[in-house]
Amino acid sequence: MAKSFRSIGLARECESPENPGALEKRVALTPEDVAALVATGAEVAVEHHAGEGVGFSDEEYRAAGALLQSEDSIYRNKDLLIKFKGPSMASIEKMQPGTTLFCMAHFHSYPQRAALLQERRINVIAMEEVLESPRVQTNTRILGRMAMNKALTPFIKNNTIGGTRVRVLDWTPRLDSAIRRAGNRDPRSLDVLQGNSKHDELTALGSEALYFYDSASFQDNNDILPRLQASGCHLFDMHEFEQNEGEDAIATYRAAHPPLEMGLRRIQCLHETGRAGARYGLELLRKNKPDLDLRYARVAVLGYGNVGQGAIHEAYAQGVGCVHVLGRTHTVKGRIDYWLRNADLVVNGAEQSPALRGINFLISNKQLQQLIPNGSVIIDLVGGSETNRSPVEPVINCSFLTDPHFVQDGVTVSALWGWPMMGMMRETAIRYSDQIRDVLLGPERLVDGLDTLTPGVARALVCGPFQ
């Protein structure tokens, strides 16, 4: 019979390797979600003041049915310890062997802490490694993908996709998956443009240009569509596709693509990470180049996944006229130079495999010296450490909230962990809590213990199992 977690502790954030100065204030579970755990019959203890940094009082946790404990007690005699960031070295010494720790572990970035957890026989489930199982595909995501597929089909059939310049007019959540699909097809370029762009601002014209838009949201107030069509550009309306073919396209896709065993991260605020990172980058850019009109800023986002989409969203929301979206073919050595030359802001949301970390740099020190102008800004949203390097060569370690940026060769660089804290602390705490509760009590039923881990959670057991 499976041994469920009956004694659960919720720890307060404290000074730790990835939280210098204890500036991370978020809590892993809100009082409402603690109450849901208590309702299962588990004994839940919450460390004093655990939620105060994001506006949840001890009284609210007590009213939810939790016990309030001291820092010294919270780590002792627990089946399951829940914490947002990884633990301090000192707190690990207080845990009993066989305890399970559920947190953002970043196990390979902190080898000394990983070795101590192994030595102390602590089971570690890394929140950032828990995946959907099976993968969840919404109709909206499929619709965007299928619409862009159809828009690009003529170029692919003619073998001209490598010379195609894709322009997405406007940014909305509905266009997210269309942008991803375009990036996967490796066009010559992929840009997201402001919906109020004027015709004389557009540089992609003629038969090699595709303008993709969604008339459900895009208002052609500047009458650019007729002029684009007259100049030989290809136009594609996602809303028209939805009305005429959407239902059949979604059904066809689902029939041909049974759900994958593994999907996306279950516990994440990656879109918010992208937004907050780009927001900070634009703030630094305004300070460095006060005369620059953001509408004409040269902005590049590396990657078009969840983090990259958040960065695109924020740059668009702040009025950047054109956001260059770079995929794998755009970031290879030599070709990426075109996008970095004279760049004002570069946001890296591109993840690399562990085998490439520290070997392949998408943005090198040499490029900082020779291509990127003084006063420009690089925001790295992947982060890293000396043993788990970022794709941005100047980044040796994350810059953290205590020292969020540095200047190298006249370029401002930041690789800050804890991005959602920058104006989104409470909101992201609530979202994380909802996702953590769902993994504990929803389909994965992590609260039932280590003996019944679902595939999406089992892969996240980075240390253990120990009894």
Domains and CATH numbers, the chain: 7-133+424-456 (3.40.50.720), 139-256 (3.40.1010), 270-419 (3.40.50.720)
More confident residue, 15 or 388: 15
Q: What is the mean pLDDT of residues 126-141?
A: 95
Q: Answer for the pair 67, 45: CB distance below 8 angstroms, yes or no.
A: yes
The per-residue pLDDT for 2 is: 53
The per-residue pLDDT for 386 is: 86
Alpha carbon 216 to chain centroid distance? 27
Question: What burial class does residue 59 get, using C-beta atoms within 10 Å of its C-beta: 0-12 exposed, 13-18 middle, 19+ buried?
Answer: exposed
Q: Answer for the pair 387, 109: CB distance below 8 angstroms, yes or no.
A: yes
pLDDT (tens digit per residue) in 43-97 = 999 999 999 999 999 999 999 999 999 999 999 999 999 999 999 999 999 999 9
List, as one string, the DSSP characters of 212-253.
EE-TTT---TT-HHHHHHHTT-EEEEHHHHIIIIIHHHHHHH
State the Cα–Cα distance between residues 47 and 67, nearest whole angstrom.
Answer: 8
pLDDT (tens digit per residue) in 93-129 = 999 999 999 999 999 889 999 999 999 999 999 999 9
pLDDT (tens digit per residue) in 270-323 = 999 999 999 999 999 999 999 999 999 999 999 999 999 999 999 999 999 999
pLDDT (tens digit per residue) in 195-212 = 999 999 999 999 999 999
Q: What is the mean pLDDT of residues 11-39?
A: 94
Strand, helix or coil for residue 351:
coil
- Range from 139-153, 418-432, 445-459 carrying the lowest mean pLDDT: 418-432
Q: What is the mean pLDDT of residues 242-259?
A: 96
The per-residue pLDDT for 248 is: 98
Lookup: tokens for 335? 């070709």
Q: Kindly report the average pLDDT of the chain as a whole number.
A: 95
Pinpoint the alpha helices (H) of 185-334: 224-230, 238-241, 247-256, 270-288, 306-317
Strand partners, 239: none
Query: What does pTM read for this prediction?
Result: 0.89
b/e burial code for range 217-243 (CB count within 10 A of at least 16 → b): bbeeeeebbeebeeeebbbbbbbbbbe
Q: What are phi and psi of 434, to 5 degrees?
A: -60, -40
Q: How confident is the model at residue 177 (pLDDT cuts 50, 70, 90)?
A: very high
Q: How many CB atoms lie under 10 A from the CB of residue 352?
A: 18
